[in-house]
Chains A and B, each alone.
Chain A
């Protein structure tokens, strides 16, 4: 009885959540135009132009700009309308470490005078302003800020920790009993990663690599799913950021090559071909070491970014045609794309893990 009740609650929440999702899509994007026009107006005001410029108050909608703003990283986390969550800016300047809130920039309209330099936000990048009021490119500033993507990643990590610590606790408490609650949701997925990804591709040594494979799988999957939620704390394009996918692919590269056995290295450095082919084969095999994780990096980045771009383009249709009548078509397509993206979110996590397992399997394979 209670199970049925709980299921009903979960289902209701899901439906409520989905309807919120659709609403906020409309909301967020209706906010796009005012923000844009405000920016445009301030730009006009700054350039000191008037008369002819002020006449056409309707600013031309630039879908590319809006879409790129939405998928890019940011020093603020946009919540709704004109409200954003300021995030800490951490800069390593030659003079020393500088930490301040991005709220000081007032959405990039004002400069912030820090301890060592004056900073300005130019297209969401922190730049140093010289004494003459121009941007000084000579000062090299390393930006270690907690940006939107980093903050979203922390949210994902927090969720993963909560889920997996509670599941691990359930296994300790209920030894030898049937799984219950969250445990019964997560167990089949872990078993799926073990039986369908690790075992067939790695072979009998799969146990050693399970922690990495599971971490990669759930990290990508949770981040993909959070990226599909348009409202806080989702909406960041974490797995669609090439820096993040680069680090994940680097992890795979290191694990594969550290665990490579002598057959793996023999296959690369002394392949079974006539000796005069070595000048061609060895470079090709060496490039192969890099290109496999490189493909992983590009695949995840491009898939997730492409998904975000498609959803935002469909929403942009309303503003391109400048009529609300197109919105049913646009929203219907967005819902369709979002459902497809749910599949892609899982599929990309699966593919990344599967190919990682495949590469590890190639590296640890014994020849009999």
Chain B
């Protein structure tokens, strides 16, 4: 039972990351489409932002992993 709740927690964390990275990626695409010459700069900024979002989501995943203790 603990395992399934931990899995739900991990899933919820991933939803947040999905929305966040989706936003970042989508907006970066729009930006590149509008200004193709700034593509490399936008990409770097996009990767930084995506990594930060991912970091927050991974906190959730790690907590779920630690919470998944059968004892």
B61 close to A (CB within 8 Å): yes
Q: Please report the C-alpha to C-alpha distance between residue A301 and residue B59 in the assembled complex, in whole angstroms.
A: 10
Given contact pairs A64-B3, A196-B44, A298 touches B51 in the complex (Cβ within 8 A): no
- Chain B: interface residue total (CB-CB under 8 A): 13
Which chain A positions have C-beta within 8 A of B61?
Answer: 302, 306
Task: Judge whether A302 and B51 touch: CB under 8 Å.
Answer: no
Q: Is the interface of A mostly helix, strand, loop or mixed?
A: helix
Q: Please report the C-alpha to C-alpha distance between residue A64 and residue B3 in the assembled complex, in whole angstroms.
A: 10
B62 close to A (CB within 8 Å): yes
Which chain A positions have C-beta within 8 A of B55?
Answer: 295, 298-299
Which chain B positions have C-beta within 8 A of A350?
Answer: 47
B12 close to A (CB within 8 Å): no
Which chain A positions have C-beta within 8 A of B68?
Answer: 64
Which chain A positions have C-beta within 8 A of B54?
Answer: 299, 303
Contact of B48 among A295, A302, A303, A354 (CB under 8 A): A354
Which chain A positions have C-beta within 8 A of B48?
Answer: 351, 354-355, 358
Task: Judge whether A306 and B3 touch: CB under 8 Å.
Answer: no
- Shortest Cβ distance from B2 into chain A, in angstroms? 11
A347 close to B (CB within 8 Å): yes
Task: Judge whether A298 and B62 touch: CB under 8 Å.
Answer: yes
Task: Mark each residue of chain A from 193 to 215: 1 if its CB lies under 8 Å from any CB of chain B, else 0.
Answer: 00010001000000000000000
Which chain B positions have C-beta within 8 A of A358?
Answer: 48
**Chain A, 321-352, CB within 8 A of any chain B CB:** 347, 350-351
- Shortest Cβ distance from A170 into chain B, in angstroms? 29
Which chain B positions have C-beta within 8 A of A347?
Answer: 47
Which chain B positions have C-beta within 8 A of A351?
Answer: 47-48, 51
Task: Mark each residue of chain B from 31 to 64: 1 if its CB lies under 8 Å from any CB of chain A, else 0.
Answer: 0000000000000100110011011001101100
Task: Judge whether B51 and A306 touch: CB under 8 Å.
Answer: no
Task: Name the residue of chain A whose CB is nearest to the CB of B3.
Answer: A64
5 CB contacts below 8 A, A to B, read A64-B3, A298-B55, A298-B62, A299-B55, A301-B62
Additional A-B contacts beyond A303-B54, A306-B58 (13; CB < 8 A): A64-B68, A295-B55, A298-B59, A299-B55, A299-B58, A302-B61, A303-B58, A350-B47, A351-B48, A354-B44, A354-B47, A355-B48, A358-B48
- Residues of A participating in the B interface, judged by any CB pair closer than 8 Å: 64, 196, 200, 295, 298-299, 301-303, 306, 347, 350-351, 354-355, 358
